[in-house]
Structure 1
Amino acid sequence: MYGRGVSHASAPKEPQRIAKLLARAGIASRREIERMIADGRIAIDGKTLDTPATLVASLHGVTVDGSPVEAPRPARLFVFHKPAGVLTTERDPKGRPTIYDRLPKGLPRLIPVGRLDYNTEGLLLLTTDGGLKRQLELPSTGVERAYRARAYGEVSQAQLEELIEGVEIDGIRYGAIDANLERRTGANVWIELILTEGKNREVRRVLEHLGLEVSRLIRTRYGPFVLGDLPVGAIGEVRQHDLVAFRQTLAKGTKSDTAVEVATLPSPAPPARAGPVETPSPPSRARKQPGPSTRPGAAPDANRKRAPRGKPRATAPLAPNRPAPASDDRRRGPKADMAAPSDPKPTPKRRPGWARPKIKPGPKPRGGRGRK
């Protein structure tokens, strides 16, 4: 069997274009189905179609690649917490990330209900049924969408209440918006908005019309389905009895006041590893052997030889026919370069560490003498 099937509730009664019905059945997008018809892949009762304008009342007898379309299945509805920075589309020519890059594997082919901008985050409905998608998107059904916007600028509650009558911006008429000032945080304001239509960038354009600069936009509710505690990037499925009850309210034209939350679908477990993987330990760093301390006052190393206390004086090369100075001559200055006398006085040997005693200065004289 080919395709995902449609629900009985969404089965059309009047003849419609076959490309539209197959797209609602989840076979492929409408453009892709038109290409499949041009390639001769779709037939009715064994006769290959040659135009996407063929009108049919049902998909009975329709085959795709020789396989009949699946029997109708109940519609399924999912709630996805779209993060900012992804597109609500199947593929992007510029290679930017899309919502399908964030969805877990193993889900059926899902169609987004409406769109959220690239930088808008929050609740995004996904369904397997094209008819349900259309019911949720039409403004005539009156399904509410709730947003929370953070904007920079000044606005009053009176200005926001004027939006309940609708507003026209650049020739485009926007319907009634129930807007309320939630709170102020410094130079920013948080605003809650409820509307029943989803025109392109409607919330941002309306708030910019009021002189506000939107820095964050979150959709928190679509009809009775609320975002709740669903983590960013996670997806949950609406329970079948909640979906049936909601479709009944749509058929009656009434509004459901009961909020419907969803549980997060479990993420697929990662593939098991073949065996334990040993984590290599970081290479050990060789400790530097402590060398002789250069700190003032540090104890000298026992293995280091002590240098002599007295710094040896370099001896200049001697001139020819000039007697060498005595080895025990310790005189300093230019006189040390003169030749030693023929009969010098014996100089007493000084022990290492010997020094002349320092003479302490006496008490300063009292009185005016000696003062400058």
Structure 2
Amino acid sequence: MPPRRRKPAVAPAPRTGLARVLSKQGVCSRSEAARWIAAGRVEVDGRVAREPETPIVAGQRIRVDGRELAPPQRLYLMLNKPRGLVTTARDERGRDTVYRCFDGAGLPWLAPVGRLDKASEGLLLFCNDPAWAARIADPGSGPDKTYHVQVDALPDAALLAALVAGVDDGGERLRAKSARVLRSGSRNAWLEIVLDEGRNRQIRRLLAAFGVGVLRLVRVAIGPLALGDLAKGAWRPLTREERIALGAPD
């Protein structure tokens, strides 16, 4: 009797947790999705789901507050972040966040693309397109970021060369793609520093390694997108040309 043929194995459909699905759709943040789910506001195929990690496969119907889940219209905007605000939706220490700049604007849920620390200022992007945000914020392949940095020293050619050559700090190699002096005073100066990778507090740590302190740090450009004359604390949507230049869908 000939051996019975085995049916070829069929790979199961990939599953993703419900909270992650809501986040990836650009509907809300993952933590906000978890709160919605715990509150019983989310249904999957007509049944209330109470667990953020409820597995979801393609084709399942998801409703939030009784409405079919549909990705919102994509929105991309830029903010001139003021100093003193933290880049997060909620702060456990009660500090003001960048979302204060959007009070009363009636915007859909938006997430910051990367971040600027509390003491830093300048160009910060927001969107509800997680895939695009990941490409922009990727430390290895994202666009260059340009900063104007006021320092408490008078840099010479040797320091500028050392910033580009880089230094090891805490197991990380910190370096600038380029560094030049914009203007100097009697005791401090402004530098333009361009980074082609992103690491936590990279410029502050890099300068500190050479005994130089940062007085102000302003991000003035991300790739071809310049901060321009956008007022402190003001925001605006990106133009179609700006979105395309940064690789967003048309």
Residue type of the alignment partner of 2:76: L
CA separation of 1:47/1:229 partners in 2, compared to 1, >3 Å: closer, same or farther? same
Alignment of 1:189 with 2:182, yes or no, is: no
Alignment of 1:106 with 2:103, yes or no, is: no
Residue type of the alignment partner of 1:100: Y
Residue type of the alignment partner of 1:242: E
Residue in 2 that maps onto 1:92: 91
CA separation of 1:145/1:24 partners in 2, compared to 1, >3 Å: closer, same or farther? same
Alignment of 1:247 with 2:247, yes or no, is: yes
Residue in 2 that maps onto 1:76: 75
Alignment of 1:217 with 2:231, yes or no, is: no
Q: What's the TM-score once normalised by structure 2's chain length?
A: 0.83
Are the counterparts in 1 of residues 152 and 213 from structure 2 also a CA contact under 8 Å? Answer: yes
Residue in 1 that maps onto 2:201: 201
The aligned runs of 1:46-57 (5 Å cut-off) are 46-56=46-56
Deviations along 1:197-233, whole A, 9 cap, x unmatched? 3322111111111111111110000122110011111
The aligned runs of 1:185-334 (5 Å cut-off) are 185-247=185-247
Runs of 4+ in 1 over 4 A off after TM superposition: 57-60
Residue in 2 that maps onto 1:122: 122
Are the counterparts in 2 of residues 166 and 177 from structure 1 also a CA contact under 8 Å? Answer: no
Greater shift in the superposed pair: 119-128 or 49-58: 49-58
The aligned runs of 1:163-174 (5 Å cut-off) are 163-174=163-174
Alignment of 1:131 with 2:131, yes or no, is: yes
CA separation of 1:142/1:128 partners in 2, compared to 1, >3 Å: closer, same or farther? closer
Deviations along 1:150-171, whole A, 9 cap, x unmatched? 0112432232223334421133
Distance in 1, matches of 2:170 and 2:241, equals 43
Distance in 1, matches of 2:229 and 2:14, equals 42
Alignment of 1:146 with 2:146, yes or no, is: yes
Residue in 1 that maps onto 2:10: none
Residue in 2 that maps onto 1:290: none
Are the counterparts in 2 of residues 76 and 240 from structure 1 also a CA contact under 8 Å? Answer: no
CA separation of 1:58/1:32 partners in 2, compared to 1, >3 Å: closer, same or farther? same
Deviations along 1:18-75, whole A, 9 cap, x unmatched? 32231133332212222333343322212333433344455751112322112x3552
Deviations along 1:123-160, whole A, 9 cap, x unmatched? 11111222221121112323111101001124322322
Are the counterparts in 2 of residues 21 and 59 from structure 1 also a CA contact under 8 Å? Answer: no
Distance in 1, matches of 2:130 and 2:20, equals 9
**Bigger RCO of structures 1 and 2 (CA < 8 A, at least 6 apart):** 2
Greater shift in the superposed pair: 214-223 or 101-110: 101-110
- Aligned-partner SS, 1:247: coil
Residue in 1 that maps onto 2:22: 22
Structure possessing the higher radius of gyration over alpha carbons: 1
Corresponding pairs, count: 236
Q: What's the TM-score once normalised by structure 1's chain length?
A: 0.58
Are the counterparts in 2 of residues 154 and 212 from structure 1 also a CA contact under 8 Å? Answer: no
- The unaligned stretches of length 5 or more in structure 1 are 1-12, 251-372
- The unaligned stretches of length 5 or more in structure 2 are 1-12
Distance in 1, matches of 2:50 and 2:236, equals 40
Distance in 2, matches of 1:152 and 1:168, equals 22
Residue in 1 that maps onto 2:155: 155
Distance in 2, matches of 1:61 and 1:205, equals 48
Distance in 2, matches of 1:148 and 1:136, equals 20
Are the counterparts in 2 of residues 90 and 99 from structure 1 also a CA contact under 8 Å? Answer: yes
State the Cα RMSD in Å: 2.5
Residue type of the alignment partner of 1:79: M
- Aligned-partner SS, 1:40: coil
Residue type of the alignment partner of 1:90: A
Bigger proportion of residues as strand: 2
| Aligned-pair CA distance for 1:239 | 1.6
Are the counterparts in 2 of residues 179 and 192 from structure 1 also a CA contact under 8 Å? Answer: yes
Distance in 2, matches of 1:30 and 1:202, equals 27
Residue in 1 that maps onto 2:5: none
